[in-house]
Chain A
Amino acid sequence: MLDLTPDEWEALALSIKVAFWATVASLPLAVLVSYALARWRFPGRSALDALVHLPLVLPPVVTGYLLLLTFGRQGPVGQFLESWFGIVVSFRWTGAALAAAIMSFPLMVRAIRLSIEAVDRRYEHAGATLGANPIMVFLLITLPLALPGLLAGSVLGFAKALGEFGATITFVSAIPGETRTVPATIYGYLQTPGGEDAALRLSIIAVAISMAALLASELISRRLPSRSGT
């Protein structure tokens, strides 16, 4: 049924690689930001909240363009990364992962933040009175209790990263084998006469993966109340 051409397999494998690293690499920061938004009161909290959500409402092409300006070879961060670490992200798969990570970040933070807010603070207080310092309280109490939300957020973020198109194609274009992910491949087929069949095949796969991810995320987060409840 799904007789994919080598090109399509390549796009699928690349998409999964990009989405996987986008999710894994941004997870620690997502947890930190979620925790800060859920538990800390500090100046600029609203601004941070807005900044995190910005990619959700900004036209993806704008996000991609801003990435190009900052992380491109001429951009300040891009130049710094290249001259100090020899890392180039523009027009590389790592750049695609960066774009996907930024676009899926708001979804991850929303899910993780909700699960952290759902952790009863009395457990954290109890941990502190038993001698656990704030880091131990976070690692031994908050994090395990928020784990379902962390997983749900990661799955959701992975699915979103898998489908990212606008920012990715603006930032790193669609180079076969390097940055041409599934959405870019579908778009390419639609621009080519006679490419509809291939576009449909890949679209079905995209729908299936996205549905599976949403269901998995929903199933995991439904376990949340039973975990943190008394």
Chain B
Amino acid sequence: MGEVRHSKFGVIIGGLILAASCTIEIGEAAEAPSGFVVTSTTFADGGPLPVRTAYARSPNFPNCVGENVSPALAWSKPPAGTKSYAIAMLDLENMVGDIGLVVYGIPANVMSFAEGEFNKASPNFVSGVGSRENPFWRGMCPPPGTAPHHYVFLVMATDLDPKALPPGLTWLELDGRLRKDRHLKDSQAIVGTFQRPQ
């Protein structure tokens, strides 16, 4: 029950952050032109993520089935003027998203990450925090009996210096920093699916 109490507290804080960061903006017409491409050697866009990338089973997480290895990601043709990248991984079925990864401050010359590279600290990225306040990869763990969930990996090209943002930002905080001040030049998604083996 301690877990639940903590969650409730988290809900309050989360709500305040959400409320504080609420802005509505209507205007842009079409989607941005760019040649920005994101790929993975671990999974195909729209295809299943391998079990090894799912979160690992433990007494607290009996429904999880994987090894929690972060997938490989690579990108090319960023927009001109890109100085750093940010990446977030979100579970689209979970309404507000179960956020498995928030990293940023990736220098412009770094355009790929190997499997497992988001499992530990690296000079190539600054850690934010995911849904479980996780600084590193926190793999998928959908409940049993559900249809495949969809996990979007958003790679965002920014004009921010790689050292501009402090560590520990949540997805909403990061999004606010990137979007509000127009530091986000373009973003490109790749989507993987995962269903717990029955």
Q: Do these two chains interact? A: no
Interface residues of A, Cβ cutoff 8 Å to B: none
